[in-house]
Amino acid sequence: MGIQWVMMNKQRERRLLKVAVALACLIPLGAGTAGVVLGPAVIESDIAGDYLGLESHFRYLSGLLLGIGIAFAASIPTIERRSELFTALSLLVIVGGLARLWALLVYDMLAMSHVLALVMELAVVPLLFFWQKRVGQAFRP
């Protein structure tokens, strides 16, 4: 009875964690979708018209970008064994690049910094992703 109860509690705890994560995912999914579709308009300005929310959001997204770069760099020493991490990071970058491409198509903005970012997000990262997969398979036991 004791082991069954512990296993049942582990299963229940796992199920509750899944539900909690699924509910928590609704916030970034909704906010991310709104940001992609509406752009900076999703952030309200204060009374003076200053976009303090935009300042905060820009720094948050820059922190995410920094974290993605750190995680990619951390994968280098054992890159052949880091397929799961490399896949997740690549997916983040590619989804971000697709959102940037959509903005480019909608607003026809063609700043050189955006073009270079798109090359990195939609060409370089996918190429590195497939290369990492190939190297990872070559080193698989």
pLDDT tens for each residue of 34-59? 989 888 888 876 555 667 778 888 89
What pLDDT score does 8 carry? 67
Sorted by where each begins, the domain ranges of the chain are 1-39
Give ∠ CA 15-19-23 in degrees, rounded to 5: 170
pLDDT over 90, % of the chain:
60
Radius of gyration of the chain (CA): 20
What pLDDT score does 40 carry? 83
Q: Is pLDDT above 80 for 4?
A: no
Residue 20's alpha-carbon distances to 17, 24, 99, in angstroms, are: 5, 6, 27
* CA–CA distance, 21 with 16 (Å, rounded to integer): 9
Whole-prediction pTM:
0.83
